[in-house]
């Protein structure tokens, strides 16, 4: 052993010792078949799923309102050779994503079956519980790099708290996930018990784009095209940031960490500037806020990088990063979706070694207590 320690490192060993490993905050696993959930799902709900399927708050039955531009919103090369849909084969995920891109930890973000958007809240809670258990059994227990999130359907607060308590006892989940397209803005007090429990448990609150709360995704109605609907995800996140901050969630829960996932970050600086400007004019309307809105954002909110805004000039992306703050950014790939960001090429502007280390690793390490 002393001989190994005393000799000079080979070039390969030196590279391995100094390489930057990636913490990917947005990996989407998929269910291979509904029968995979049977061991976690009571017989009643197995039959319900088989007979009736889901009942979403959308204008169409059994599908999303807008067709995606690639099958299942995924890369064409992400279909496993063994069958199944993209994201459903762990061995293929290792080969295509985790191993070649040197992912140290990957945070699972499950979108299957739209548990946040089920009209039948009891069915939604049953699916939510099954998927939470499935994340551990099929993914986290089979590859320790993958970390599960507690899916909590926020529109039935009592059921959500019960599920959070059940999962938190295992100590195997690293955040609590709610949907931004909820029945009401997330700053409303009806959701505060979830935030209170997240703070007590020391678990970040993850808010991943998507969901169907029964409302049109824009302020003026339903878009005509998928590209419009996709664009509206950022608008939804901006609205929820304003709701959470202005209704006083970070003031009431000062130790709560909130992570916005897959909403990009190009809009954040202007959102902070606008909130601060309005706060100066309307301070008397919101006496519960003790500080400027941007101060809460810069202390309690983080934003994953995907989809990275790509202005024509690299210096403009550089300015965006500086305005938001490099400490606020967490890398995410969105694997295996069509707008996936490869960590090797994601930023088209030079980053210092310190900045790259923060965005790709240490910021997430601190937020999630890895």
In the chain, the number of structural domains is 1
CATH number at residue 162: 3.20.20.140
In a domain, 10, yes or no: no
In a domain, 7, yes or no: no
In a domain, 335, yes or no: yes
In a domain, 13, yes or no: no
In a domain, 175, yes or no: yes
78/345 Cα distance (integer angstroms): 18
pLDDT in tens, the chain (370 residues): 333 345 554 555 444 444 779 999 999 999 999 999 999 999 999 999 999 888 877 666 556 667 665 667 899 999 999 899 999 999 999 999 999 999 999 999 999 888 888 889 999 999 999 999 999 999 999 999 999 999 999 999 999 999 999 999 999 999 999 999 999 999 999 999 999 999 999 999 999 998 887 788 888 888 888 888 888 899 999 999 999 999 999 999 999 999 999 999 999 999 999 999 999 999 999 999 999 999 999 999 999 999 998 889 999 999 999 999 999 999 999 999 999 999 999 998 889 999 999 999 999 999 999 9
- Which residues of the chain form beta strands (DSSP E)? 22-27, 103-108, 146-151, 173-178, 205-208, 258-261, 301-304, 329-330
Burial class of residue 348, CB neighbours in 10 A (0-12, 13-18, 19+): middle
pTM above 0.85, yes or no: yes
For residue 64, what are the domain limits? 20-367
In a domain, 12, yes or no: no
In a domain, 346, yes or no: yes
Sorted by sequence, the CB contacts under 8 Å of residue 142 that are 6+ apart come out as: 90
In a domain, 6, yes or no: no
């Amino acid at each position: 052993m002393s001989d190994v320690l005393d000799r000079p490192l080979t070039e390969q060993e030196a590279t391995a010792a100094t390489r930057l490993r990636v913490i990917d905050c947005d990996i989407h696993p998929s269910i291979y078949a509904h029968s995979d959930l049977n061991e976690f799902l009571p017989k009643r709900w197995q039959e319900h799923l088989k007979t009736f399927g889901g009942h979403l708050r959308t204008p169409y039955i059994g599908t999303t309102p807008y067709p995606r531009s690639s099958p299942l919103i995924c890369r064409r090369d992400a279909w496993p050779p063994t069958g199944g849909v993209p994201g459903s084969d762990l061995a293929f995920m290792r080969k295509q994503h985790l191993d070649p891109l040197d992912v140290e930890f990957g945070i699972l973000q499950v979108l299957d079956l739209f548990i946040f958007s089920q009209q039948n809240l009891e069915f939604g809670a049953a699916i939510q519980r099954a998927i939470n258990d499935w994340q551990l059994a099929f993914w986290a227990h089979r590859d320790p790099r993958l970390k599960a999130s507690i899916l909590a359907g926020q529109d039935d607060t009592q059921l959500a708290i019960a599920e959070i308590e059940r999962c938190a006892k295992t100590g195997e989940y690293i955040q609590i996930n709610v949907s931004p397209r909820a029945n009401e803005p997330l700053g409303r007090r009806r959701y505060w018990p979830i935030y209170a429990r997240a703070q007590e448990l020391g678990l970040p609150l993850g808010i991943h784009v998507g969901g169907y709360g029964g409302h049109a995704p824009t302020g003026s109605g339903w878009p005509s095209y998928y590209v419009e609907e996709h664009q509206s995800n950022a608008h939804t996140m901006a609205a929820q940031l304003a709701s959470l901050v202005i209704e006083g969630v970070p003031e009431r829960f000062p130790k709560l960490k909130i992570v916005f996932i897959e909403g990009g970050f190009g809009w954040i600086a202007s959102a902070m500037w606008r909130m601060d400007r309005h706060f100066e004019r309307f301070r008397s309307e919101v006496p519960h806020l003790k500080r400027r809105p941007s101060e809460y954002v810069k202390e309690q909110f983080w934003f994953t990088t995907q989809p990275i805004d790509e202005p024509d000039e690299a210096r403009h992306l550089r300015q965006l990063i500086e305005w938001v703050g490099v400490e606020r950014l967490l890398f995410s790939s969105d694997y295996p979706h069509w707008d996936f960001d490869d960590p090797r090429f994601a930023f088209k502007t030079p980053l210092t070694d310190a900045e790259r280390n923060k965005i790709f690793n240490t910021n997430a390490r601190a937020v999630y207590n890895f």
